[in-house]
């Protein structure tokens, strides 16, 4: 059931995610899910950057592309440069867990420096040891105070990591928290209260999670009407693209 305010999704995928995940979707399936859930726009990223580029080109008013480099690849910085300057992509996604690096590893820094130069956000997967713990993302945010970091999943499914995500974002005002996959709805309200209503935003992580579940989680978190507007829509419009 669509929510009562317009929604921007800060985190969606296209393509196939095999191995343990076993999920996939096409751009058409994503858009159909967005339509039936009242989601106006979604930030899109996937390991297959060409597929993201093609999907965004087909639906430019609905999808916003972020580039997903593997910092271990020699061509990572070149890919990021091309995507941000030639393809019209609006940000960078990093997945320390999947691509096996620490946020502060040497090969990551030139990518974040380019984000700083281009003034685009860096969205980072959070929640899993040893590579994507909130504390490590905080260390990167401390090195680059001018870069806006979106902590995807705000610690994800582990209570201690969720608490760490909130504490870390409180310490670094260049971190924004994103709600997809977070296992405790009560922590969304806590994040809004502790970190600030302008630094928490809705994300689905479609097709890993369904819109009906992810939207409901924010709906029942106990936010005021104004806070819901900020989390579901306004913060993303201001901070993501």
CB atoms within 10 A of CB 60: 11
The residue among 10, 95, 81 whose CA lies nearest residue 44 is 10
Q: Are 138 and 168 in contact (CB under 8 A)?
A: yes
Beta-bridged to residue 11, according to DSSP, are: none
**Rounded to the nearest 10 degrees, how much is the dihedral formed by the CA atoms of 36, 53, 97, 176?**
-60
- The smaller minimum CB distance to Zn ion, of residues 92 and 197, is found at 92
Contacts (Cβ under 8 Å, ≥6 apart) of 20:
none
Torsions phi, psi for 93 (to 5 deg): -115, 135
Nearest to Zn ion of 197, 205 (CB atom) = 205
Could you give the count of Cα atoms lying within 13 Å of 29 in the half-sphere of its Cβ? 12
Within 152-211, which residues bind Zn ion (CB under 5 A)? 205
Q: Which is nearer to Zn ion, 51 or 194 (CB)?
A: 51
Backbone angles phi, psi at 122, to 5 degrees: -120, 115
Q: How far apart are CA 154 and CA 170, in angstroms?
A: 12
Query: What is the smallest separation between the CB atom of 10 and Zn ion, expressed in angstroms?
Result: 10
Closest approach of Cβ 208 to Zn ion, in Å? 6
Task: Decide whether 194 or 239 has the Cβ nearer to Zn ion.
Answer: 239
Kindly state the smallest distance separating residue 127's Cβ from Zn ion, in Å.
Answer: 11
**Min dist. Cβ of residue 13 to Zn ion (A):** 6
Number of residues binding to Zn ion, judged by CB under 5 A = 1
What track of x and - describes contact with Zn ion for positions 101 through 140 (by CB under 5 A)?
----------------------------------------
> Closest residue (Cβ) to Zn ion?
205
Backbone angles phi, psi at 78, to 5 degrees: -60, -40
Residue 9 engages Zn ion in binding (rule: CB under 5 A): no
C-beta closer to Zn ion: residue 205 or 214: 205
CB of 201 to Zn ion, least distance (A): 14
Of residues 11 and 53, the one with the C-beta less far from Zn ion: 11
CB of 125 to Zn ion, least distance (A): 7
Nearer to Zn ion, 132 or 168 (CB): 132
Name the minimum Å distance from CB 145 to Zn ion: 26
3-state secondary structure of 20: coil
Residues 20-39 that bind Zn ion (CB under 5 A): none
Q: CA geometry: angle at 148 spanning 143 and 149, to 5°?
A: 80
Residues at the contact surface with Zn ion, assessed by CB under 5 A: 205
């Amino acid at each position: 059931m669509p929510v009562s305010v317009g929604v921007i999704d800060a985190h969606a995928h296209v393509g196939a995610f095999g191995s343990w995940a076993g999920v996939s979707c096409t751009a058409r399936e994503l858009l159909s899910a967005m339509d039936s859930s009242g989601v106006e726009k979604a930030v899109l990223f996937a390991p297959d950057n060409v597929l993201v580029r093609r999907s965004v080109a087909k639906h430019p008013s609905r999808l916003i592309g972020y580039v997903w480099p593997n910092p271990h690849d020699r061509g990572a910085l070149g890919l990021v440069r091309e995507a941000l300057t030639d393809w019209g992509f609006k940000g960078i996604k990093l997945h320390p867990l999947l691509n096996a690096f620490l946020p502060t590893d040497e090969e990551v820094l030139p990518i974040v420096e380019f984000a700083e130069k281009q003034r685009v956000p860096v969205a980072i997967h959070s929640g899993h040891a040893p590579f994507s713990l909130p504390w490590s993302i905080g260390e990167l945010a401390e090195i680059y105070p001018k870069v806006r970091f979106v902590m995807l999943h705000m610690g994800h499914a582990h209570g201690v990591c969720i608490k760490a995500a909130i504490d870390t974002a409180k310490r670094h005002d260049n971190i924004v928290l994103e709600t997809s996959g977070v296992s405790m709805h009560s922590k969304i309200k806590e994040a809004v209260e502790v970190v600030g209503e302008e630094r928490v935003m809705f994300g689905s992580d479609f097709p890993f999670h369904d819109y009906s579940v992810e939207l409901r989680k924010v709906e029942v978190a106990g936010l005021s009407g104004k806070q819901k507007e900020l989390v579901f829509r306004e913060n993303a419009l201001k901070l993501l693209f």
